[in-house]
Amino acid sequence: MKAFAIVLIVLLVVAIAAVGVFCFSAKIEVRFDSCIATDGVTQVDYYNGLKRQVESGAFTGIRFSGAELGAADQYQFLTYTVHLDNHAFLQAQTIELRITPMESDILQLGDESCHDLASGKQGDISATILTGRTAHSVREGTVSYYLWGIPFTEKITLGK
């Protein structure tokens, strides 16, 4: 009976060590890749469709401001791309990029697809915001993901 208890204690210590290794190595490397600015004037049809969605309450994104949208020439779209490198032993699930808004930001377009990244793989994720035409492109973003049901977040500076 005493030998069985010792074996159980050794198994418990090994299990705790394995969980510790998992928690400390469960990271995804997050790196800013690019920011593409597109004038609202060059995307008039897309902007008008987006404006109709907002006015009708059918918009599927994040509204930063409750103000009514004006003409397309007052705005620009900023699309941020982040490069991800999964160093964890598990697949990263439900990866999301959220932009921390500034005063001139109006909304972040919704991304309804589910992004996953297998162990040892690399990939990109993008987010697009609608902002004032004269706003600069530097923002802070938060990348969130799950590894084996455990949530992780990383903050990153977007833009240069």
CB 160 within 8 A of CB 138: yes
Look at residue 87 in the predicted model and tell me its pLDDT.
87
CB atoms within 10 A of CB 9: 10
- 79 forms beta bridges with 36, 128
Whether 147 shows a pLDDT value over 90: the answer reads: no
Q: Which of 64, 81, 66 is nearest to 131 (CA)?
A: 64
Count CA atoms closer than 13 A to 67's CA, side-chain side: 13
Q: What angle do CA 49, 128, 146 make, to 5 degrees?
A: 125
pLDDT of residue 112: 80
Going from the N-terminus, what domains does the chain have, and what CATH number goes with each?
27-158 (2.60.40)
- What pTM does this model have? 0.83
Alpha-carbon gap, residue 27 to 22, rounded angstroms: 9
Distance of CA 160 to CAs 53, 118, 139, 141, 151, Å?
A: 31, 29, 9, 13, 28
Q: What is the mean pLDDT of the chain?
A: 89
Residue 123 is predicted with a pLDDT of: 93
Contact 100, 140 (CB under 8 A): yes
pLDDT digits (tens, 9 = 90+) for 60-94: 888 988 888 889 889 999 999 999 999 888 899 99
Residue 118 near residue 95 (C-beta atoms within 8 A): no
